Structure 1
């Protein structure tokens, strides 16, 4: 396991504290460190814990790690650069360190030991996070599922009640989706749902949340009033009109909006938005309506 230096070290650029030097009297307790790393269930927290530990015993300013979809970092990006590949189960991560001084042989050996302790907790945390995501997200569209919707709506209603913040719900579905499935088959139907989900996700803001709660039925939690929700509805209708795949198959949507009122609970807010959706369909579809 070789560390390749990729930048020149200038003693005047870095200040190295001798207290960080690994000596026989400053050995970390590996069992304790392993326990600390295993305490965390998210890859980000595991990596932050690892960075703090490594920075305590070695002259390391910062660390970056690229593992699957994760881009993890700790500390700063200044200093001597070393990089290597770190096998993690069936995958391989790239880990980069920034040093404030070259390491002694004994320090390099210690880094190998500490790094070996990172592998299992990081992999376990990534697996746990993936399982949690699968439980809360729709496998087809990658939007939140019904369970996640109910939990998010409950939290949003509690926050709106407590802080008197505006909240709106959009309920939407695809017009004549059953006819599409009957004509082209479920494969095309699934492709359409995926494209529709992507369109919704692109139309909403970072503060909003989109969900597929069943079949071709979707909801959007909007952190704002009915006017803010209306802008999202208009954006979705426009984006669908300009989407070649959806337009070619004559796929359109109808939407209903309900702004939260002080007496609303989860069910009443949904029913008001759903009634507005029905009004949009009666009005000719391919439009939205706002609940009174």
Structure 2
């Protein structure tokens, strides 16, 4: 069972000066919490800091924050007999919902305390959400909505570290379009941009949910294949060519692609892995035999 309360927080209604109009104990509590909430712009960390304070007043097994663009959950959250939801508003506009998983009903006194604490939380939370959104945009290619080179650099490090821990393999596929400049020169940049968008969609349709597609810039793209095998890379390669052949726009302008495939091996760092995939792409474009070896782990 869920109960929803609405907490509306105008920016002008609550600030540090109003703290001193409250009791001394409340003021000290609120100032201490505000100080902690200002130490991070990570949404999940904010919710965990907030949960530590809330635990002084209610017995809960989890706290869940849901915003249209991001969700966060306290560490070790689990289900309970009931849920109590508070709808958060900022300047009269819906901001998000914070949900408490509880086994014991929240008293009216503690309900009031929660409402006051939410007023302290919402502005730091708004700052953190805006920071998250800005970082997401900084990691995204504006034309295709794929991850950009910066996003690739971070994801490849994580993928390689996870593969080493789990004794699995990572595959890399580098992709570019053949004679793309000719399309731009002959038909204009608007058509060229549309070709890039269609190619990006073809790549996304050809990979698994666990894989990642990026655009480096121009007509250069890459795919990180997690838990890879020779067969999985071959299947993705075949899917890319097939999906491109079925795309009306790509077929209309006779757009083809070259792909370079490589596996991470145990001695690879990001640079060496990147260079082998790049060399594989160059080899294919030059119509040279591509060496495609499974590196043994160990």
Paired with 2:44 and 2:100, the residues of 1 have a C-alpha distance of: 17
In the other structure, the counterpart of 1:191 is: 194
Q: How far is the alpha carbon of 1:103 from its aligned partner?
A: 2.7
Q: Distance in 1 between matches of 2:101 and 2:166?
A: 44
Hey, what does 2:134 align to over in structure 1? 131
Distance 1:64 1:150 in 2: 31
- Contact (CA 8 Å) 1:273, 1:291: kept in 2 or not? no
How many residue pairs match? The answer is: 268
CA 162–65 in structure 1, closer or farther in 2 if over 3 Å, else same: closer
Compared with structure 1, are the counterparts of its residues 31 and 95 closer, same or farther at alpha carbon in structure 2 (3 Å cutoff)?
A: same
- 8 Å Cα contact 1:62-1:78 kept in structure 2: no
> Which residue does 2:66 correspond to in 1?
66
- Aligned: 1:247 with 2:251: yes
Specify which of 231, 234, 241 is matched with residue 235 of structure 2.
231
Q: Would you say the 8 A contact 1:88–1:123 is kept in 2?
A: no
* CA 88–283 in structure 1, closer or farther in 2 if over 3 Å, else same: farther
Q: 2:218 aligns with which of 215, 221, 233?
A: 215
Contact 1:226/1:258 (8 A) holds in 2: no
Query: How high is the TM-score relative to the length of structure 1?
Result: 0.72
1:289 Cα deviation (Å)?
A: 5.2
Q: Is 1:84–2:87 an aligned residue pair?
A: yes
Match of 2:120 among 101, 117, 122: 117
Would the alpha carbon gap of residues 56 and 251 (structure 1) be closer, same or farther in structure 2, given more than 3 Å must change?
farther
Q: Distance in 2 between matches of 1:101 and 1:136?
A: 43
User: Matches of 1:41 and 1:31 in 2, distance apart?
Assistant: 18
In structure 2, do the counterparts of structure 1 residues 155 and 54 end up closer, same or farther at CA, with 3 Å as the change threshold?
Answer: closer
Counterparts of 2:215 and 2:164, CA distance in 1 = 25
Partner residue, 2:277:
273
5 Å matches for 1:89-104?
Answer: 92-97=95-100, 100-104=104-108
**Could you tell me how far apart the structure 2 residues matched to 1:155 and 1:262 are?**
15
Distance 2:261 2:117 in 1: 54
Matched with 2:203 is 200
The answer to whether 1:108 aligns with 2:108 is: no
Cα 1:89–1:46 change in 2 (3 A) is: farther
Please state whether the residue corresponding to 2:56 is helix, strand or coil. Answer: helix
Q: Distance in 1 between matches of 2:266 and 2:100?
A: 53
Structure 2, unpaired ranges of 5+ = 6-22, 294-298
Q: Answer yes or no: is the 8 Å Cα contact 2:280–2:290 preserved in 1.
A: yes
Which 5+ residue runs of structure 1 have no aligned equivalent?
Answer: 6-23
Structure 1 residue 209: Cα displacement:
3.1
Query: Shift of residue 290 of structure 1?
Result: 5.0
